[in-house]
Amino acid sequence: MSDETEFIAAKNASTDGEFVRDATYINDRVVKGLEPGSDPVGEKIGEMRWPVEAGRYRLMAARACPWASRSIIVRRLMGLEDAISMGLAGPTHDINSWVFDLDPDGRDPVTGLHRLQEAYFNRIPDYPRGITVPALVDLPTNAVVTNAYQKLNFDMLSEWTDFHRDGAPDLYPEAHRDEIDELDSWIYPTVNNGVYRCGFAAEQGAYEKAYDELWASLDRLEERLATRRYLVGETITAADIRLFTTLVRFDAVYHGHFKANRSKITEMPALWGYLRDLFQTPGFGDTCDFPQIKEHYYNVHRDVNPTGIVPKGPDLAGLLTPHHREELGGSPFGSGTAPGPIAEPSERVPAGHRAE
């Protein structure tokens, strides 16, 4: 959903001013074992199973959104570009929907959609909840299959294996799944969602509670990453992707816009080195568009920033400076390989939109 919609829902749902994220999604899955071209199996939306089928689905995303950025990174690291195409919405929108205003005539070139909302209505007329990215759209019907980002990402890792590139990494290794899930159990509410709980708090007490929990967790992560290159094991995992999309937005957006301002990530040595390490890894920094990220938060969140003025800073060139994290051991992809250059011109972040 748009963050404006989330904020309105939060004010209605909470009696103490705390931001409450609407986490109700269309939980359909795309799985192996079903005949390509077949209809989904199941009778209830949210519990249906769709067949893995190259070319059938389009990932609708927005570089501005951290949840969508996770899916963009997973798709690129696993080499699923030829199997699952991608449409990119622009960074600003109204309360109704993300809009494909980056494309000619304001329409996604594959689906012809102007608003992502149309794909939701094609599946559920007058869909009553927020219009979120990422969303997977069924091209034959132009209807949303799922917007449950965590399950969507898991399916790209575990169900689309026949279409993974040679050398694709194991981002959710069996030996570390419990540890990855345990980390997510506190990083998600206090860090990923914690910055939103700070920014959208409607009462001082709710803000201070979220702020304290955020910094307790960031201090905990700073200590953890002082002695290890990645969050879990010796290679990049899903845990790193989940944390990266928050950290890379922190100094540019969350520090000021969301009042998460005890410190900047550049002032925390381990987290700053870790962020630079990931940013310089193919699949991470090359998917980040900072003007879009800043325009989204500062322009769309008029409850937080009434003027809509987008700050010129900060200088993000430091993301490209040496990090020396390789001295801690490990390697980004283990026995796998890095993804190659982005082949599709429309998926490349424009020059001047990166940390240059």
CA-closest candidate to residue 113, choices 121, 244, 158: 121
- H or E segment at 49? strand 49-51
Tell me if residue 288 is catalytic. Answer: no
Task: Specify whether the backbone of 153 is left (phi greater than 0), alpha (psi in -120 to 50) or beta.
Answer: alpha
Tell me if residue 25 is catalytic. Answer: no
Annotated active-site residue in 57, 149, 172, 196: 196
Burial class (CB in 10 A: 0-12, 13-18, 19+), 128: exposed
3-state DSSP assignment of residue 59 = strand
203 CB neighbour count, 10 Å cutoff: 13
258 CB neighbour count, 10 Å cutoff: 25
DSSP assigned state of 164: P
Q: Copy the structure tokens of residue 272.
A: 């700053």
Cβ atoms of residues 87 and 116 within 8 Å: no
Q: Copy the structure tokens of residue 89.
A: 């919405």
Q: Are strands 143-146 and 57-61 parallel, antiparallel or unpaired?
A: unpaired
The residues pairing with 85 across neighbouring beta strands, listed in sequence order, are 58
316 vs 57: CA distance, rounded Å: 35
334 vs 138: CA distance, rounded Å: 34
CA-closest candidate to residue 276, choices 313, 245, 307, 318: 318
Cβ atoms of residues 238 and 157 within 8 Å: yes
Burial class (CB in 10 A: 0-12, 13-18, 19+), 199: buried
Q: For the chain, how far is it from start to end, CA to CA, in angstroms? A: 31
Annotated active-site residue in 65, 149, 172, 254: 65
Active site residues: 65, 196
